[in-house]
């Protein structure tokens, strides 16, 4: 496991280097770099099990897993609240947050693999799904084991509630999928659940370990919630952004699955009758031809669906920034504010 740990820390270090252009995130990472590296060590150590497939599969997804944004938020929130870096609680709890996130990723993979391979389920695909479900369960249980070791019922309350809310958001997304009658309010419920709830909890936990008054705790939860909403809205916009396609990035995943996102709702409600028919066929009936994604992107651009979504995201990012104003100015506060700016600039 030592080799895996060292590899992971290297991945993280090079991962942060990749974000050199995104000064905000780099600045935040640099402020808590030692803690983040230690958090990665905890992640690797705690995903171990005598059942070898568990650390193998977990290492695969944890190592592949993005920016470590959620544990970074816990570490940064703790620092913002003056929690001494020599202490360990923020590091262990940041690892819990990442485990919960990883568990949901693994279960999302099952959902996505099922769709991508629909009607073509091989024995191998089935084996992969099973392992993803079960290892996801393990990581989720392990997260609660670690929280119990930390010993704070308040932290357990925040993260168990967030976990239930995430599941509710995911189920609501499933229910609203392929349903153009979904309202914007329901769309907001989905993204608050599936994404923003864990951002909020990750930030709030940082205040809890620093034993801050409730006002500071809730301000950080508010920052995380609004940041998470903005983050997911931008993600939903990028899935239909033509310039992303020219950059070689993946677009159209949401379209192929018939997910109801804000860009689609904007274009659908502003659309002519033939356009509404197009959306009903492609999103509701999931009858899609190769040319349909381009047409969807054209219609969304035509009706300002990307701009409307990005505008909304920028408003939430502004509210995230506002929530931090009760804290005195500091390099961490500046970096957290810059991260919310960065989030709504990802489209460029």
Give CA separation, 316 vs 194, 199, 203, 313, 333, in Å. 16, 13, 16, 5, 17
140 binds a second copy (CB under 8 A): yes
285 binds a second copy (CB under 8 A): no
Q: How far apart are CA 131 and CA 138, in angstroms?
A: 10
Nearer of residues 201 and 297 to a second copy, judged by Cβ? 201
Q: How far apart are CA 191 and CA 196, in angstroms?
A: 6
Per the CB < 8 A criterion, the answer to whether 182 and 210 are in contact is no
Site for a second copy in 161-180 (CB under 8 A): 161, 163-164, 166-168, 170-172, 174-175
Of 44-52, 214-222, 247-255, 265-273, the window that binds a second copy (rule: CB under 8 A) is: 44-52
Please identify which residue in 1, 153, 285, 325 interacts with a second copy, judged by CB under 8 A.
153
309 binds a second copy (CB under 8 A): no
Per the CB < 8 A criterion, the answer to whether 79 and 32 are in contact is yes
124 binds a second copy (CB under 8 A): no
138 binds a second copy (CB under 8 A): yes
Q: How far apart are CA 210 and CA 332, in angstroms?
A: 15
Site for a second copy in 209-248 (CB under 8 A): none
119 binds a second copy (CB under 8 A): yes
Of 132-140, 269-277, 292-300, 331-339, the window that binds a second copy (rule: CB under 8 A) is: 132-140
Cα-Cα end-to-end distance for the chain: 39
Which residue's entry shows tokens 């090079």?
Answer: 14
- DSSP of 222-270, one letter per residue? HHHHHHHHHHHHHHHHHTT-HHHHHTT----HHHHHT---HHHHHHHHH
Of 13-21, 80-88, 113-121, 209-217, the window that binds a second copy (rule: CB under 8 A) is: 113-121
Please identify which residue in 13, 63, 115, 270 interacts with a second copy, judged by CB under 8 A.
115
8-state DSSP, 190? H
Let me know if 119 is exposed, middle or buried by CB neighbors in 10 A (0-12, 13-18, 19+). exposed
CB of 70 to a second copy, least distance (A): 16
Please identify which residue in 129, 195, 212, 282 interacts with a second copy, judged by CB under 8 A.
129
CB of 140 to a second copy, least distance (A): 7
| C-alpha 218, offset from chain centre | 20
Stated length of the chain = 348
Please identify which residue in 107, 226, 303, 314 interacts with a second copy, judged by CB under 8 A.
107
102 binds a second copy (CB under 8 A): no
17 binds a second copy (CB under 8 A): no
Nearer of residues 31 and 135 to a second copy, judged by Cβ? 135
**H-only helix segments in the chain:** 2-18, 23-31, 33-46, 53-64, 69-80, 89-116, 123-150, 153-176, 184-191, 197-209, 214-238, 242-246, 253-257, 262-270, 273-279, 292-302, 305-323, 331-343
Please identify which residue in 123, 214, 247, 291 interacts with a second copy, judged by CB under 8 A.
123
Nearer of residues 167 and 318 to a second copy, judged by Cβ? 167
Handedness of CA 300, 25, 314, 95 (dihedral sign): positive
Residues that bind a second copy (CB under 8 A): 49-54, 103-104, 107, 110-111, 114-115, 117-123, 126-127, 129-131, 133-135, 137-138, 140-142, 144-145, 147-148, 151, 153, 156-157, 160-161, 163-164, 166-168, 170-172, 174-175
């Amino acid at each position: 496991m030592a080799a895996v740990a060292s590899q992971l820390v290297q991945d993280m270090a090079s991962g942060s280097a990749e974000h050199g252009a995104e000064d905000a995130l780099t600045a935040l990472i640099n402020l808590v770099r030692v803690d983040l590296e230690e958090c990665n060590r905890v992640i690797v150590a705690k995903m171990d099990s005598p059942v070898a497939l568990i650390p193998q599969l977990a290492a695969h997804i944890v190592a592949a897993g993005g920016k470590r944004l959620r544990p970074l938020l816990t570490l940064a929130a703790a620092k913002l609240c003056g929690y001494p870096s020599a202490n360990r609680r923020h590091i262990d709890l940041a690892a819990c947050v990442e485990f919960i996130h990883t568990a949901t990723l693994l279960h999302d993979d099952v959902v996505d693999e099922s769709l991508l391979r629909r009607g073509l389920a091989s024995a191998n695909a089935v084996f992969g799904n099973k392992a993803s479900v079960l290892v996801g369960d393990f990581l989720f249980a392990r997260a609660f084991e670690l929280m119990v070791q930390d010993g704070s019922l308040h932290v357990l309350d925040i993260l168990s509630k967030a976990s239930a809310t995430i599941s509710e958001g995911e189920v609501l997304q499933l229910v609203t999928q392929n349903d153009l009658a979904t309202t914007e309010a329901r769309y907001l419920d989905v993204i608050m659940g599936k994404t923003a709830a864990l951002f909020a909890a990750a930030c709030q936990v940082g205040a809890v370990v620093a034993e801050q008054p409730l006002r500071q705790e809730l301000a950080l939860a508010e920052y995380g919630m609004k940041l998470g909403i903005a983050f997911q809205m931008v993600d939903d916009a990028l899935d239909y952004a033509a310039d992303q396609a020219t950059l070689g990035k993946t677009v159209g995943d949401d379209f192929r699955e018939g997910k109801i996102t804000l860009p689609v709702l904007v274009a659908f409600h502003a659309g002519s009758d033939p356009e509404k028919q197009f959306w009903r066929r492609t999103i509701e009936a999931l009858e899609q031809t190769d040319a349909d994604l381009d047409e969807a992107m054209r219609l969304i651009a035509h009706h300002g669906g990307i701009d409307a979504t990005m505008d909304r995201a920028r408003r939430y990012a502004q509210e995230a920034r506002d929530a931090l104003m009760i804290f005195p100015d500091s390099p961490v506060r500046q970096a957290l504010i810059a991260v919310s700016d960065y989030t709504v600039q990802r489209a460029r």
